[in-house]
Amino acid sequence: MGIQVQSVEAGTPAAKLGIQPGDVLLTVGRNPLNDMLDYEFYTSSPRFEMTVCREGQTRTLQVRKDQYEPFGCDFKTYLIDKQHSCANHCMFCFIDQLPQGMRPALYFKDDDERLSFLFGNYITLTNLSPHEVERIGHMHISPINISVHTTNPELRVRMMANKRAGETLAYLKQFAEAGIEMNCQLVLCRGINDGEELRRTLDDLCQLHESILSIAAVPSGVTRYRKGLYPLTPYDRETAAQTLNILEEYGRRCVKEYGTRLIYPGDEWYLAAERPVPEGDFYEEYAQLENGVGMWRLYRDEFLGALAHSRTGRRIRRMDVVTGTLAAPLIQEMMEALHGRHPSVKVTVHPIRNNFFGGNISVAGLVTGTDIIDQCKGKLTSDVLGVPEVMLRDEQDRFLDDVTVEQLAEALGVRVKILPVAGAENLRAILEG
């Protein structure tokens, strides 16, 4: 098959060997090149033989370079071939709960093992072919991030609406036997895979503790756009506390038996159960931070640590900031601490209720520009509005509802300042105005 070169970076090994746009890279050694994972893995070695085809003529190149030095080719798309889409219809899928009319890219469900390796995405395993499972073992792709949800095969089939969902659980043991490390994710649905089913799942995963680096458990999100979908019930204070009790019980057991907590409840459980978020050492190395687990604690500790060392004598400054209702108490606490050290700096916090998705969605990352405009118009106390970068897409130019930063600024008559989510950087941005 091979992969066609789109461009070649000057000064790289590929350029020095005369690789040109339009050339097709066929093999490295005896290994065929089919996608970016093949390319990145096999060209990382300092010495290898590569076959290249140009206008029907094949030649063999002897490559010599530094270990892990980029070979230097770029391709039409990052993955080279098409991104693998999800074959499941999970009862808790957030994308299925989006309203119509949003950007097409938002409706794409990826489930691609290459993105797990390259970017840390979570995969369900149901997309994996025998060749891909073998390749993971051969390349020793580790760690791999897996959305498990439940280890009950029948329940997993039901939750994911995929007949392969149960049988692919066998890959967990197969990866462990191959020395592949795993991070696991559990999206919990009230009354479905929590309670005794959660205990079963944790018991099963703990048996693989030598290969599992971490297990995150988060509650399913429920928007107001669930027409025709499985009727999920959001967690309340009591049911969140019950689930948290199980997660903490197993975490304590893991600390005692394995020397690591292994199981990390999402911050939402503590906030919903109205319990204090654990101290920083609870999260150990913050292995599930990308899943939002421990973000509350890390932000608070970093913010207060930086605040204690910040230079006093600041000039008078006012700012408004927006956040989701879930994080609002924390942000309010931090702004009060900021005012205590710098009395001339006053930040007004505006918790934004997520009317766009429905009142059950409270995280800052899903707040829309429309809701900010509706709830902040006429209520701002300054000419600067701080917006957490997590509310914006990667380009940081627009919200989920396609409202741009410029449109937000114009509608509210303010200057919009994008605020980092890391505590120390967040403080610095606020003090800089």
- pLDDT top residue among 260 and 95: 260
Peptide bond into 278 cis (omega under 30): no
Is the pLDDT reported for residue 107 higher than 50? no
- The pLDDT confidence band at residue 261, using thresholds 50, 70 and 90, is very high
pLDDT digits (tens, 9 = 90+) for 153-192: 999 999 999 999 999 999 999 999 999 999 999 999 999 9
Q: What single letter denotes the amino acid at residue 58?
A: T
The answer to which of 74-88, 144-158, 168-182, 369-383 has the lowest mean pLDDT is: 74-88
Q: What is the pLDDT of residues 283-333, one digit of tens each?
A: 999 999 888 899 999 999 999 999 999 988 778 789 999 999 988 999 999
Residue 403 CB contacts under 8 Å (≥ 6 apart), including other chains: 368, 369, 370, 373
- pLDDT higher than threshold 50 for residue 215: yes
Same domain, 154 and 228: yes
Q: What is the CATH number of the domain that holds 65?
A: 2.30.42.10
Is residue 116 scored above 60 in pLDDT? no
Residue-wise pLDDT tens digits, 388-411: 999 987 677 889 888 999 999 999
User: Are residues 216 and 325 located together in one domain of the fold?
Assistant: no
Domain edge (last residue) among 292, 318, 350: 292
Query: Same domain for 146 and 259?
Result: yes
| Contact assessment for residue 290 and residue 218, using Cβ atoms and an 8 Å cutoff | no
CATH number for the domain spanning 360: value is 3.40.50
85 part of a folded domain? no
Strand order in the sheet with 317-324: 345-352, 317-324, 384-388, 415-419
Residues 272 and 337 in one domain: no
Return the percentage of the chain with pLDDT > 70, whole number: 92
pTM beyond cutoff 0.95? no
Output the six-digit token pair for 129: 């072919």
The CA distance from 355 to 369, in Å, is 11
pLDDT at 75: 87
418: DSSP letter: E
Same domain, 325 and 277: no
CA distance linking residue 301 with residue 277, whole number of Å: 12
**Residue 397: which domain range?**
299-432
> Higher pLDDT residue, 14 or 95?
14
The distance from CA 319 to its chain's CA centroid, rounded to whole angstroms, is 29
Total domain count, the chain: 3
Domain end (from 247, 264, 292): 292
Contact between 92 and 232 (Cβ < 8 Å): yes
